A and B are shown apart, each in its own frame.
Chain A
Amino acid sequence: MGGWLAGIPLFWGKIFAAVFFVGMIVWAWFRPRKYIYEDSPDGNRWRDLRIWATVLLGIQIVLYIVF
């Protein structure tokens, strides 16, 4: 994996990673509410899996910025 790719700064890895995580959050929120709650016993807010996904991916963004 040499050539021109070897010249890409390591910093771009963090940029790619952050864009990737944000893209996943946006994708999750494009899932319809009905689809997310399908078969759920109730409509409580904590059962909204899009919120879970946002928390998970948000933590990832922080980790990849710090390290």
Chain B
Amino acid sequence: MSIRGIDLIIVIAYLIAIPVFGVYFRKYVKTEEDYFLAGKMLPWWVISMSIIGTNIGAYDYMGAAGGAYRFGIAQANYEWIGAIPAMVLSALLFVPYYWKAGVYTVPEFLGKRYNLAVRVIEAILWGAFLACVLGVFFWASGLMLNEYLGIPVEVSLLITALIVGIYTITGGLAAVAMTDVVQLLVMFIGGVALTVLGLWTVGGWSGLVNAITPTNPDHFKLFLPLDNPTYPWLGMIFGLALVLSPAWWCCHQAIIQRTLGARSEWDAKAGMLFASFPKMLIPILVVLPGLLALALNPGLVGADMDKAFPWLIKNLLPAGLAGLVFAAFMAALISSVDSTLNSAATLWTRDIYQRFFKKDASDRHYLRVGRILTLVFVLWAIAFAPVTKEFPGIYVAMQTLLSIFQGPTFAITLLGIYWKRANQWGGLSGLLGGVAISSSLFFITKSSFLYIAWWSFLGSALITMLVSLLTKPDPSEKLEGLVYGLVMKDKDIQDILKKRAEGGE
């Protein structure tokens, strides 16, 4: 397909505008807190839009549209039951405690609640995961640019790295969050345009249903039978809704970091909760296009199903609109990559470098280290991206990586906040035991990631409780402000925490 002039102009204008806008926020970055937490100045509406910009990545457009092509609207479970309840839980239980603790990272919180070993293990796990995710994101961009613009994959990786790297390295979280706001708007405008045109082409909603259901009778059912290998309904509830999703929304560094940069506790909570509203509309952008591609071209098979979204852009959209939708795809990609980069740098700076290599350096030193590490992760992502092609489906690959340690992390974080008797040895044993369970299930039994998450969560929670009850409780002064009941009952603790959070101590 030859690229049309107007589309190219739109795409190039967008790709230039985003880094220029992002670099503007460089002037607000003077300290480590400015770089990693946007100076704790983010209002709730910026947080909410940045959270969704971070959450919806290129893999959603590619993987989720491909998933919808294969399995139908069951794919929307990831945006509905697999997100909304967990976001409510995160906003009303987890976020206020992270914010009050004045931490920069989730592992830092777990270090305060349990011990240094838990913090380091979590930091290494999350650091490695975020680095892998960057590779997946970059590879998705390669596929898209290759499919649509005909640019070689290697070149497209470099283009992505250049655009994102410029403002993420210079402007930190403030630049990332503010560009995310713009990118989310672009995503919605482009995504809605594609869906509306697609629906019009197939004859509206009823036309879509009539085109698909004769050959795919389950494609308009949210819950699929238990013999479905990828999305069995029981796995959706127990694995996704009860474990994977809360683990993502309550413990994912890139998601939580936006709330830690909130100007107040209420803004932090409201930012997470309000993000649920655009989140509910995401299936319009990522699931419906997969169904539309199936209605218009039912001939895609195997790995080509992941190309349902680019196929739709190439074959459905007129000049101008194709450029806009392509910009929306790039917005999704870039807003996830920048957040992941920033969070990976935050983790490695705060939890590894600052803790083990240089403890009492100046603010400017850590700021410089954060920028250097961001650059290192850009280079790493370029090198790692081609490895992700070994996985059969982009989205499933992401979830499989997550399921190894999401369940155990969620188990110890939940118990840490809700159960004061959970102690450092319980937390450490629960984390290690849970990861051992999930790794065994993954490598030996090859179970679905939904069931791996459930069993590793359960195993981790039981180990944490058992070991905690068999060992000495942590002293109560260590738990002050970190456990739900202990904060709610004590006004003095609330005041101390508020000061700590405001001072970023």
Interfacial residues, chain A to chain B (CB-CB below 8 A): 1-2, 5-6, 8, 10, 13-14, 16-17, 20-21, 24, 28, 31-32, 35-41, 47, 49, 52-53, 56-57, 59-60, 63-64, 67
Point out the residue from B89, B223, B273, B488 that lies within 8 Å of A49, measured CB to CB: B273
Q: Contact string, B204-235, partner A, CB cutoff 8 A, digits 1/0?
A: 00000000000000001111011100001111
State whether B88 touches A13 (Cβ < 8 A): no
Does any Cβ of A come within 8 Å of B264's Cβ? yes
CB-CB < 8 A to A13: which residues of B? 223, 233-234, 236-237
State whether B221 touches A67 (Cβ < 8 A): yes
Given known A-B contacts A31-B92, A39-B266, A59-B280, A5 and B234 have beta carbons under 8 A apart: yes
Which residues of chain B from 57 to 105 have a CB within 8 Å of any chain A CB? 73, 80-81, 84-85, 87-89, 91-92, 96
Does any Cβ of A come within 8 Å of B306's Cβ? no
Q: Contact string, B324-341, partner A, CB cutoff 8 A, digits 1/0?
A: 000000000000000000
Given known A-B contacts A8-B234, A10-B223, A17-B237, A47 and B81 have beta carbons under 8 A apart: no
Point out the residue from B222, B233, B266 that lies within 8 Å of A67, measured CB to CB: B222
Does any Cβ of A come within 8 Å of B265's Cβ? yes
Point out the residue from A6, A10, A17, A39 that lies within 8 Å of B264, measured CB to CB: A39
CB-CB < 8 A to A16: which residues of B? 237
CB-CB < 8 A to A40: which residues of B? 264, 266
Q: How far is the CA of A16 from the CA of B448 in the complex (A)?
A: 21
Q: How far is the CA of A43 from the CA of B220 in the complex (A)?
A: 43
Known: A10-B225, A36-B92, A64-B222. 17 other contacts (CB 8 A): A1-B226, A1-B234, A1-B451, A2-B226, A5-B234, A6-B227, A10-B223, A17-B237, A20-B237, A24-B85, A32-B488, A38-B96, A41-B264, A41-B266, A49-B92, A49-B270, A56-B276
Which residues of chain B from 247 to 296 have a CB within 8 Å of any chain A CB? 264-267, 269-270, 273-274, 276-277, 280
Does any Cβ of A come within 8 Å of B308's Cβ? no
Does any Cβ of A come within 8 Å of B404's Cβ? no
- Some 25 contacts from A to B, beta carbons below 8 A apart, are A1-B226, A1-B234, A5-B234, A13-B223, A17-B81, A17-B237, A36-B92, A36-B269, A37-B266, A38-B96, A39-B264, A39-B266, A39-B498, A41-B264, A49-B269, A52-B276, A53-B88, A56-B84, A56-B87, A56-B88, A57-B88, A60-B85, A63-B80, A64-B81, A67-B222
Which residues of chain B from 290 to 335 have a CB within 8 Å of any chain A CB? none
Please give the distance in Å from B40's CB to the nearest CB on chain A. 12
State whether A67 touches B84 (Cβ < 8 A): no
State whether A56 touches B280 (Cβ < 8 A): yes
Does any Cβ of A come within 8 Å of B164's Cβ? no
CB-CB < 8 A to B280: which residues of A? 56, 59-60
Q: How far is the CA of A5 from the CA of B223 in the complex (A)?
A: 15
Does any Cβ of A come within 8 Å of B347's Cβ? no
Please give the distance in Å from B415's CB to the nearest CB on chain A. 17
State whether A57 touches B233 (Cβ < 8 A): no
State whether A60 touches B91 (Cβ < 8 A): no
Q: Which of B81, B96, B232, B235 has the most CB of A within 10 A?
A: B81
Does any Cβ of A come within 8 Å of B241's Cβ? yes
CB-CB < 8 A to A57: which residues of B? 84-85, 88
Q: How far is the CA of A51 from the CA of B345 in the complex (A)?
A: 36
CB-CB < 8 A to A35: which residues of B? 96, 488
Please give the distance in Å from B399's CB to the nearest CB on chain A. 17
Given known A-B contacts A1-B232, A1-B234, A60-B84, A6 and B226 have beta carbons under 8 A apart: yes
With CB as the reference atom, state the residue of chain B lying closest to A38. B265
Q: How far is the CA of A67 from the CA of B241 in the complex (A)?
A: 17
State whether A5 touches B226 (Cβ < 8 A): yes
CB-CB < 8 A to B265: which residues of A? 38-39
The 3 closest A-B pairs by CB, nearest first: A13-B223, A39-B265, A39-B264
Q: How far is the CA of A59 from the CA of B226 in the complex (A)?
A: 26
Q: How far is the CA of A38 from the CA of B268 in the complex (A)?
A: 11
